[in-house]
Amino acid sequence: MYSPTAVRIDQVSSATQSTFAPPVMEARRWLEGVSFPPERPLINVSQAAPVDLPPDDMRAAMANIIVNEPQAHLYGPVLGLPELRAEVAVQWSHAYGSKIDPTQIAITSGCNQAFAATISAIAQTGDEVLLPTPWYFNHKMWLDMAGVIAKPLPTDEGLLPDPDVARGLITERTRAISLVTPNNPAGVEYPADLVLRFFKLAQETGIKLIVDETYRDFHSQTGAPHPLFQQADWDQTLIHLYSFSKAFRLTGHRVGAMITSPKILAESEKFLDTVAICPNQMGQFSALWGLRNLTEWLSGERNEILARRAAIEANMPKLTAQGWSLKGCGAYFAYVQHPFAMPSDELAQELVKEAGILALPGTMFTPIDDPNGARHLRIAFANIDSDGIAELFTRLAALRFSLATSSTGK
């Protein structure tokens, strides 16, 4: 059984041994020795990273940057390219109806590094961070390696966390609440008023609110997804994280951002300088070009993702009669409850052999003692179109595993 949090304390002798192996890499090992005939190829819904290349115009611009921009090949400022920080300030100020200054922005080597830099700036060994469950596993992994306790924050039937429940979990060692919206792994979009309640709770209790908006560009609503940047002294509480990887297909170039107070950025700079010295310069120039030139193209990408979300919802009736249920759907993800007697970590491995499907089990997103993990699967649909989604659901509907006697858990 895959148990991502099953690490014996007496076996831990290093920071990395305090956490589990990368789940996506673990899942890829399930493919070893399994063949997939041409008429029934593997459907890979295990990872949210887009596999398509950046658009042609962007790649042409990147080629020009390589040849004609000397700075793209040299060290740059630790907190990022000044022109990119300035552009983010302008566009985020417009998008959120606020005034954001470039000094409140840092560019990072991807959004995961932004989270790691944030935790390094605000917490130390033995401190606590509240993570709604199901959680994004890389956040849990970094907290483990940093010696920071990931305190599970249960979610309701709609996979939304409750600020009142969070209040009861806050202690003198709590340093932050971390939210991901649209959510990974559940796809759920946190309502603006809920996000604001978490902000006010964090502000009142003197902790930070981390809001990872990696999938913001694929939100189903138009306009600002929350009013946090409009709150007085927002940068004393809010730490906003973002990724250019999903927006412009720059996954291999590792470009992310964090927006918060200059004081926290100054602390983060120590971490960033030690880990990478500066963000990938080529990626930064490319992200800057994308922000200035790909607004219309990105709008089309958003429409395609929304169409795939609609396809997920339209195909669910194929499964509901067997007891499946759709618990969350949005951005790149669908989170489904399965009806079978076996736990999801076993089911996910059987899906490879029986259905030619690679998906991640809910056990990779929950504490080991949380029974909800065994009941769920995450489907990342960023790389399958509507026809692929229909085929995915057809294969799932054809499964004939033993059903559970009752469906429990959220």
Question: How many other CB atoms are there within 10 angstroms of residue 209's CB atom?
Answer: 23
Q: Determine the angle formed by the axes of helices 295-315 and 386-397, rounding to 10 degrees.
A: 20
pLDDT at 146 (0 to 100): 96
Q: Per-residue DSSP letters for 97-155?
A: TS---GGGEEEESSHHHHHHHHHHHH--TT-EEEEESS--HHHHHHHHHHT-EEEEE-B
* Tokens read off for 82: 């000044």
Helix (H, G, I), strand (E, B) or coil at 94: helix
- Measured from the Cβ of residue 9, the count of other Cβ atoms closer than 10 Å reads 6
Q: What is the DSSP letter of 71?
A: G
- Token pair recorded at residue 253: 């170039």
DSSP secondary structure, 211-225, as one string: EE-TTGGG-SS-S-S
pTM of the entire predicted model? 0.93
Amino acid 386 reads: S
* C-beta of residue 286 within 8 angstroms of C-beta of residue 370: no
- pLDDT for 99 equals 95
- Domains in the chain, please, with CATH? 9-53+297-397 (3.90.1150.10), 70-293 (3.40.640.10)
Please give the pLDDT value at position 408.
46
pLDDT tens for the chain, 410 residues: list them. Answer: 455 555 555 566 899 999 988 988 999 999 998 999 999 999 999 988 888 899 999 999 999 999 999 999 999 999 999 999 999 999 999 999 999 999 999 999 999 999 999 999 999 999 999 999 999 999 999 999 999 999 999 999 999 999 999 999 999 999 999 999 999 999 999 999 999 999 999 999 999 999 999 999 999 998 999 999 999 999 999 999 999 999 999 999 999 999 999 999 999 999 999 999 999 999 999 999 999 999 999 999 999 999 999 999 999 999 998 899 999 999 999 999 999 999 999 999 999 999 999 999 999 999 999 999 999 999 999 889 999 999 999 999 999 998 877 544 45
CB-based contact 102:265 (threshold 8 Å): no
pLDDT at 111: 95
Residue where the block lists tokens 């412009």 = 248
| 263 contacts: CB under 8 Å, gap ≥ 6 | none
Collapsed DSSP state (helix, strand, coil) of residue 146: helix
Place of tokens 């006697």: 405
| CB 407, CB 337: distance < 8 Å | yes
28: Cβ contacts below 8 Å, ≥ 6 apart: 46, 358
Structure tokens at 56: 């042609």
3-state secondary structure of 16: helix
* Residue 62 Cα distances to 59, 66, 225, 286, 382, angstroms: 5, 6, 31, 6, 24
Please give the pLDDT value at position 48. Answer: 82
User: What is the token pair recorded at 197?
Assistant: 């309640």
The pLDDT assigned to 49 comes to 80
Measured CA to CA, the distance from residue 75 to residue 291 in angstroms comes to 22
Q: Is the dihedral of CA 70, 72, 74, 77 positive or negative?
A: positive
Instruction: Write down the pLDDT at residue 329.
Output: 96
**What pLDDT score was predicted for residue 50?**
82
In whole angstroms, what separates CA 83 from the centre of its chain?
Answer: 26
Helix (H) or strand (E) holding 395: helix 386-397
Structure tokens that stand for 396 in this block: 């799932």
Q: CA-CA distance, 243 to 229, in Å (whole number)? A: 18
For 152-162, b where at least 16 C-beta lie within 10 A, e where not — what string? bbebeeebbbb
DSSP string for 228-280: GGGSTTGGGTEEEEEEHHHHHT-GGG--EEEES-HHHHHHHHHHHHHHTSS--
DSSP 158: T
**Half-sphere exposure of 288 toward its Cβ, with a 13 Å CA cutoff?**
18
pLDDT at 404: 78
Cα–Cα distance, 174 to 204 (Å, whole number): 13
Contact 105, 85 (CB under 8 A): yes
